[in-house]
Amino acid sequence: MTRFRVLVADDEAPARAKVKRLLADDARFVLEGEASDGTETLNRVAALRPDLLVLDVQMPGLTGFEVLEALGPEQCPAVIFSTAYDAFAVAAFEAQAVDYLLKPYDAERFARALERAYTVLQGGLPETARLQALLADLGRAPSSRPLERLVVKAGEAWVPLRLTDVWRLSSEDKYVRLHTAQGEHLVRQTLRSLEERLDPTRFVRVHRGDIVNLDAVARLEPWTHGDGILVLKDGSSVVLSRTWREAFLQRWGLEG
Protein backbone atom coordinates (compact mmCIF):
# COMPACT_ATOMS: atom_id res chain seq x y z
CA MET A 1 0.00 0.00 0.00
CA THR A 2 1.25 3.44 -0.95
CA ARG A 3 1.56 5.80 2.01
CA PHE A 4 1.36 9.49 1.25
CA ARG A 5 3.34 12.04 3.29
CA VAL A 6 1.46 14.94 4.88
CA LEU A 7 2.52 18.38 6.12
CA VAL A 8 0.16 20.22 8.49
CA ALA A 9 0.28 24.04 8.46
CA ASP A 10 -1.74 25.96 11.03
CA ASP A 11 -0.80 28.71 13.48
CA GLU A 12 -2.95 27.13 16.21
CA ALA A 13 -1.26 24.25 18.06
CA PRO A 14 -4.60 22.59 19.02
CA ALA A 15 -5.63 22.59 15.35
CA ARG A 16 -2.36 20.90 14.34
CA ALA A 17 -2.77 18.38 17.13
CA LYS A 18 -6.27 17.52 15.93
CA VAL A 19 -5.09 16.88 12.38
CA LYS A 20 -2.21 14.73 13.63
CA ARG A 21 -4.60 12.70 15.79
CA LEU A 22 -7.02 12.13 12.92
CA LEU A 23 -4.23 11.27 10.48
CA ALA A 24 -3.11 8.50 12.81
CA ASP A 25 -6.39 6.69 12.12
CA ASP A 26 -5.67 6.34 8.39
CA ALA A 27 -2.80 4.04 7.50
CA ARG A 28 -2.62 5.40 3.94
CA PHE A 29 -1.13 8.67 5.23
CA VAL A 30 1.85 9.47 7.43
CA LEU A 31 2.63 12.78 9.11
CA GLU A 32 5.86 14.19 7.69
CA GLY A 33 5.99 17.52 9.52
CA GLU A 34 4.18 20.64 10.63
CA ALA A 35 4.47 24.42 10.33
CA SER A 36 3.00 27.30 12.31
CA ASP A 37 3.19 30.21 9.87
CA GLY A 38 3.26 30.90 6.16
CA THR A 39 6.99 31.35 5.72
CA GLU A 40 7.78 28.21 7.68
CA THR A 41 5.27 26.34 5.52
CA LEU A 42 7.11 27.38 2.35
CA ASN A 43 10.43 26.22 3.72
CA ARG A 44 9.04 22.94 5.06
CA VAL A 45 7.40 22.12 1.73
CA ALA A 46 10.69 22.82 -0.07
CA ALA A 47 12.62 20.61 2.36
CA LEU A 48 10.16 17.74 2.89
CA ARG A 49 8.33 17.58 -0.46
CA PRO A 50 5.09 16.28 1.08
CA ASP A 51 2.38 14.71 -1.08
CA LEU A 52 -0.43 16.47 0.78
CA LEU A 53 -0.63 19.82 2.57
CA VAL A 54 -3.38 20.45 5.13
CA LEU A 55 -3.32 24.22 5.02
CA ASP A 56 -4.89 26.95 7.15
CA VAL A 57 -5.87 30.09 5.24
CA GLN A 58 -5.18 32.75 7.88
CA MET A 59 -1.63 32.43 9.19
CA PRO A 60 1.03 34.94 10.33
CA GLY A 61 3.52 36.02 7.72
CA LEU A 62 1.78 34.65 4.66
CA THR A 63 -1.77 33.50 4.10
CA GLY A 64 -2.46 30.04 2.76
CA PHE A 65 -3.24 31.57 -0.63
CA GLU A 66 0.08 33.42 -0.70
CA VAL A 67 1.88 30.20 0.20
CA LEU A 68 0.34 28.41 -2.79
CA GLU A 69 1.08 31.31 -5.09
CA ALA A 70 4.72 31.32 -4.02
CA LEU A 71 5.09 27.58 -4.47
CA GLY A 72 3.65 27.54 -7.97
CA PRO A 73 2.47 24.40 -9.76
CA GLU A 74 5.93 22.82 -9.82
CA GLN A 75 6.33 22.61 -6.03
CA CYS A 76 2.75 22.62 -4.80
CA PRO A 77 1.49 19.34 -3.32
CA ALA A 78 -2.17 18.40 -3.16
CA VAL A 79 -3.93 20.76 -0.76
CA ILE A 80 -6.78 20.46 1.72
CA PHE A 81 -7.78 23.85 3.06
CA SER A 82 -8.58 23.99 6.76
CA THR A 83 -10.25 27.26 7.64
CA ALA A 84 -12.93 29.04 9.64
CA TYR A 85 -13.71 31.28 6.65
CA ASP A 86 -16.09 29.59 4.29
CA ALA A 87 -15.77 32.24 1.57
CA PHE A 88 -12.06 31.47 1.08
CA ALA A 89 -12.57 27.76 1.30
CA VAL A 90 -15.47 27.59 -1.13
CA ALA A 91 -13.52 29.62 -3.66
CA ALA A 92 -10.60 27.23 -3.35
CA PHE A 93 -12.85 24.19 -3.65
CA GLU A 94 -14.53 25.57 -6.76
CA ALA A 95 -11.07 26.04 -8.24
CA GLN A 96 -10.50 22.29 -7.78
CA ALA A 97 -8.48 22.21 -4.60
CA VAL A 98 -8.70 18.70 -3.19
CA ASP A 99 -11.13 19.71 -0.46
CA TYR A 100 -11.80 22.22 2.28
CA LEU A 101 -12.50 21.70 5.94
CA LEU A 102 -14.60 24.31 7.62
CA LYS A 103 -13.64 24.56 11.30
CA PRO A 104 -14.84 23.06 13.53
CA TYR A 105 -15.03 19.75 11.67
CA ASP A 106 -15.40 16.20 12.99
CA ALA A 107 -13.54 12.95 12.32
CA GLU A 108 -16.05 11.81 9.72
CA ARG A 109 -15.64 14.98 7.67
CA PHE A 110 -11.85 14.77 7.91
CA ALA A 111 -11.96 11.16 6.73
CA ARG A 112 -13.95 12.19 3.64
CA ALA A 113 -11.35 14.84 2.85
CA LEU A 114 -8.60 12.25 3.10
CA GLU A 115 -10.56 9.93 0.81
CA ARG A 116 -10.72 12.66 -1.82
CA ALA A 117 -7.01 13.35 -1.40
CA TYR A 118 -6.17 9.67 -1.77
CA THR A 119 -8.12 9.55 -5.05
CA VAL A 120 -6.35 12.62 -6.38
CA LEU A 121 -2.91 11.40 -5.34
CA GLN A 122 -3.50 8.09 -7.10
CA GLY A 123 -4.24 9.94 -10.32
CA GLY A 124 -7.99 10.20 -10.08
CA LEU A 125 -7.86 13.89 -11.03
CA PRO A 126 -5.14 15.41 -13.24
CA GLU A 127 -2.97 17.41 -10.87
CA THR A 128 -1.82 19.92 -13.47
CA ALA A 129 -5.37 20.83 -14.40
CA ARG A 130 -6.32 21.15 -10.74
CA LEU A 131 -3.40 23.42 -9.88
CA GLN A 132 -3.75 25.57 -12.96
CA ALA A 133 -7.38 26.20 -12.13
CA LEU A 134 -6.54 26.90 -8.50
CA LEU A 135 -3.74 29.34 -9.27
CA ALA A 136 -5.77 31.07 -11.96
CA ASP A 137 -8.50 31.65 -9.44
CA LEU A 138 -6.03 32.87 -6.83
CA GLY A 139 -4.54 35.18 -9.38
CA ARG A 140 -7.90 36.81 -9.96
CA ALA A 141 -8.76 37.10 -6.29
CA PRO A 142 -6.38 39.94 -5.37
CA SER A 143 -7.63 42.12 -8.23
CA SER A 144 -9.98 43.98 -5.90
CA ARG A 145 -7.09 45.28 -3.82
CA PRO A 146 -3.48 46.06 -4.65
CA LEU A 147 -0.79 43.50 -4.05
CA GLU A 148 0.99 44.21 -0.76
CA ARG A 149 3.87 41.73 -0.85
CA LEU A 150 5.56 39.03 -2.85
CA VAL A 151 7.42 35.96 -1.69
CA VAL A 152 10.98 35.79 -3.02
CA LYS A 153 13.85 33.36 -2.72
CA ALA A 154 16.71 34.43 -0.42
CA GLY A 155 19.38 31.74 -0.56
CA GLU A 156 17.63 28.48 0.22
CA ALA A 157 14.74 30.14 2.06
CA TRP A 158 11.58 31.91 1.02
CA VAL A 159 10.94 35.35 2.53
CA PRO A 160 8.15 37.92 2.16
CA LEU A 161 9.01 41.21 0.45
CA ARG A 162 6.80 44.27 0.95
CA LEU A 163 6.02 46.08 -2.29
CA THR A 164 6.60 49.42 -0.53
CA ASP A 165 10.28 48.40 -0.33
CA VAL A 166 10.53 47.88 -4.09
CA TRP A 167 11.89 50.89 -5.95
CA ARG A 168 11.80 49.57 -9.50
CA LEU A 169 10.52 46.55 -11.40
CA SER A 170 12.24 45.62 -14.65
CA SER A 171 11.27 42.98 -17.19
CA GLU A 172 13.62 40.10 -18.00
CA ASP A 173 11.90 37.72 -20.43
CA LYS A 174 9.51 35.61 -18.31
CA TYR A 175 10.83 37.12 -15.08
CA VAL A 176 10.63 40.43 -13.26
CA ARG A 177 13.62 41.82 -11.37
CA LEU A 178 12.64 43.62 -8.16
CA HIS A 179 15.08 46.36 -7.14
CA THR A 180 15.23 47.30 -3.46
CA ALA A 181 17.63 49.19 -1.25
CA GLN A 182 18.84 45.85 0.14
CA GLY A 183 19.32 44.02 -3.16
CA GLU A 184 17.54 42.47 -6.12
CA HIS A 185 15.18 39.52 -6.50
CA LEU A 186 13.78 37.66 -9.51
CA VAL A 187 10.18 36.43 -9.60
CA ARG A 188 8.70 34.27 -12.34
CA GLN A 189 5.98 36.58 -13.61
CA THR A 190 5.62 38.91 -16.54
CA LEU A 191 5.79 42.64 -15.94
CA ARG A 192 2.35 43.06 -17.49
CA SER A 193 0.66 40.51 -15.20
CA LEU A 194 2.36 41.98 -12.14
CA GLU A 195 1.48 45.55 -13.14
CA GLU A 196 -2.22 44.69 -13.02
CA ARG A 197 -1.88 43.87 -9.33
CA LEU A 198 0.20 46.85 -8.19
CA ASP A 199 -1.13 49.91 -6.38
CA PRO A 200 -1.68 52.44 -9.21
CA THR A 201 -1.23 55.35 -6.80
CA ARG A 202 2.29 54.16 -5.97
CA PHE A 203 3.64 52.39 -9.09
CA VAL A 204 3.66 53.70 -12.65
CA ARG A 205 5.09 52.33 -15.88
CA VAL A 206 7.77 54.57 -17.35
CA HIS A 207 9.10 52.36 -20.14
CA ARG A 208 8.11 49.16 -21.93
CA GLY A 209 10.34 47.24 -19.56
CA ASP A 210 10.23 49.31 -16.38
CA ILE A 211 7.84 50.32 -13.59
CA VAL A 212 8.95 52.67 -10.82
CA ASN A 213 7.78 53.38 -7.31
CA LEU A 214 6.87 57.09 -7.28
CA ASP A 215 8.30 57.43 -3.77
CA ALA A 216 11.70 56.34 -5.09
CA VAL A 217 12.03 59.06 -7.73
CA ALA A 218 14.54 61.77 -6.80
CA ARG A 219 14.37 63.88 -9.97
CA LEU A 220 13.54 63.99 -13.66
CA GLU A 221 16.15 65.14 -16.16
CA PRO A 222 15.53 65.96 -19.83
CA TRP A 223 16.93 63.66 -22.48
CA THR A 224 16.24 63.38 -26.21
CA HIS A 225 13.17 63.14 -28.47
CA GLY A 226 10.77 63.72 -25.61
CA ASP A 227 12.25 61.00 -23.43
CA GLY A 228 13.57 61.77 -19.95
CA ILE A 229 15.84 60.26 -17.34
CA LEU A 230 14.45 59.41 -13.93
CA VAL A 231 17.10 59.42 -11.22
CA LEU A 232 16.08 57.32 -8.26
CA LYS A 233 17.02 57.98 -4.65
CA ASP A 234 19.59 55.16 -4.70
CA GLY A 235 21.45 56.95 -7.54
CA SER A 236 20.32 54.56 -10.29
CA SER A 237 18.51 55.86 -13.35
CA VAL A 238 15.85 54.66 -15.76
CA VAL A 239 14.50 56.00 -19.04
CA LEU A 240 11.12 57.74 -19.00
CA SER A 241 9.75 57.01 -22.46
CA ARG A 242 7.65 59.71 -24.13
CA THR A 243 4.95 57.03 -24.50
CA TRP A 244 4.40 56.99 -20.75
CA ARG A 245 5.60 60.54 -20.00
CA GLU A 246 2.20 62.17 -19.61
CA ALA A 247 0.83 59.44 -17.36
CA PHE A 248 3.95 59.60 -15.21
CA LEU A 249 3.84 63.38 -14.84
CA GLN A 250 0.20 63.28 -13.79
CA ARG A 251 0.85 60.59 -11.21
CA TRP A 252 3.95 62.41 -9.99
CA GLY A 253 1.99 65.60 -9.43
CA LEU A 254 2.68 67.53 -12.64
CA GLU A 255 0.45 68.05 -15.62
CA GLY A 256 1.73 66.59 -18.87
User: Which residue ranges form the domains of the chain, and what is each CATH number?
Assistant: 4-139 (3.40.50.2300), 149-252 (2.40.50.40)
pLDDT: which is higher, 81 or 158: 81
Confidence of residue 30 (pLDDT cuts 50, 70, 90): very high
* Cβ–Cβ < 8 Å for 135, 72: yes
Q: pLDDT at residue 159 above 90?
A: no
Kindly state the percentage of the chain with pLDDT values over 90.
Answer: 43
* Residue 138 contacts residue 71 (beta carbons within 8 Å): no
- Helix, strand or coil, per DSSP, at residue 98: coil
Pick the more confident residue, 45 or 1.
45
Give the chain's mean pLDDT.
84
Q: Among 14-23, 29-38, 70-79, 172-181, which is the least confidently predicted range?
A: 70-79
pTM of the model: 0.55
Q: Which amino acid is at 20?
A: K
Lowest mean pLDDT segment, chosen from 46-55, 102-111, 171-180, 188-197: 188-197
Q: Are 220 and 226 in contact (CB under 8 A)?
A: no
Q: What's residue 256's pLDDT? A: 47
pLDDT at residue 143 greater than cutoff 70: no
Residue 146, preceding bond cis, omega within 30 degrees? no
Q: Rounded CA gap, 13 and 23, in Å? A: 15
Rounded to a whole number of angstroms, the CA Rg of the chain reads: 22
Closest CA to 80 of 4, 188, 189: 4
